[in-house]
Amino acid sequence: MQELIKKMFAAGAHYGYSKATRHPSAEKFVYGTKDGMEIIDLEKTAQSLSDAKEFVAKLAADKKQVLFVSSKPEARDALETAAEAIDQPFIAGRWIGGTFTNLDQMKKRTGKLADLKAKRDKGELGKYTKKEQLLISREIEDLEKRFGGVANMKGLPAALFVIDPKAESIAVKEAIKSQVPVIALLNTDGSSENIDYPIYGNDANRTSIKLFVEEIAKSYEEGTKRQK
């Protein structure tokens, strides 16, 4: 646990926001203040992270999926890299409305993407005119950009992992409505009231975000080794 706390401290995970922006539910996770900014209690963060990691490992052992989500530019690279490494679905950008609540439509979109890519890879687009091929290529590009990260999502995931639930409020609402447990990295301005596994830490710094994303992904990878 101490080694984890050292890693979080080095990553700047302890930096919160000003007391004026603090959400009441974050109070017990605040250690103190410095220069007007709140300092997060990393011992409590480490325990919260450990609980979330064990939950994720159990899901992996049961061959269940975790959807990684963040629209923050600071999180994009780490999120995509980590999710792809463990073959889990992700949305690194704007949340796609209806991802959980309109699953049939999502399946149609990802199905169309898979179909068009298969035809392209098999050379079946040659029968179309150059203009038609260009339009199809653009459609593939657009679908890949919007739905490529969830192309491997098999129905509802067993959990949602988000960076900053305040920024991803629509995703969290859909998860709650669909009874999908939520794991979240959130700062002192965020509410943990509807989060199953809240992890208080710096959710705005690339280094801090990368650490938490990699810790969750590593737990999933370790959980796959428990599969029967």
**pLDDT tens readout for residues 151-210:** 899 899 999 999 999 999 999 999 999 999 999 999 999 999 999 999 999 999 999 999
pLDDT at position 32 is 93
Q: Are 162 and 183 in contact (CB under 8 A)?
A: yes
Residue 25 sits in the same domain as residue 87: yes
Which CATH number characterizes residue 130's domain?
A: 1.10.287
Residue 107 sits in the same domain as residue 95: no
Res 108 pLDDT > 90? no
Residue 96 sits in the same domain as residue 107: no
Cβ atoms within 10 Å of 111's Cβ, excluding its own: 12
**Eight-state DSSP code of residue 194:** T
pLDDT per residue as tens digits for the range 3-22 = 999 999 999 999 999 988 99
Residue 17 sits in the same domain as residue 69: yes
Residue 76 sits in the same domain as residue 112: no
Q: Are 80 and 69 in contact (CB under 8 A)?
A: no
The residue among 92, 123, 150 that closes a domain is 150
For the chain, what is the domain count? 2
Token pair in block for residue 68: 């990684």
Residue 34 sits in the same domain as residue 61: yes
Query: Which domain range does residue 179 map to?
Result: 2-100+156-224
pLDDT at position 137 is 85
The answer for 68, left when phi > 0, alpha when psi is -120 to 50, beta otherwise, is: beta
Token pair in block for residue 97: 């409305």
Say whether 2 sits in a helix, a strand or coil: helix
Residue 89 sits in the same domain as residue 175: yes
Which CATH number characterizes residue 219's domain?
A: 3.40.50.10490
* Burial (CB count <10 Å: 0-12, 13-18, 19+), residue 121: exposed
Residue 189 sits in the same domain as residue 110: no
Token pair in block for residue 175: 């998860």
Residue 40 sits in the same domain as residue 76: yes
Of 34-48, 64-78, 126-140, which range is least confident? 126-140
Res 85 pLDDT > 70? yes
Residue 161 sits in the same domain as residue 63: yes
Residue 132 sits in the same domain as residue 179: no
- By DSSP bridging, strand 66-70 and strand 15-18 are unpaired
pLDDT at position 228 is 62
pLDDT at position 143 is 84
Residue 117 sits in the same domain as residue 17: no
- Does the reported pTM lie above 0.75? yes
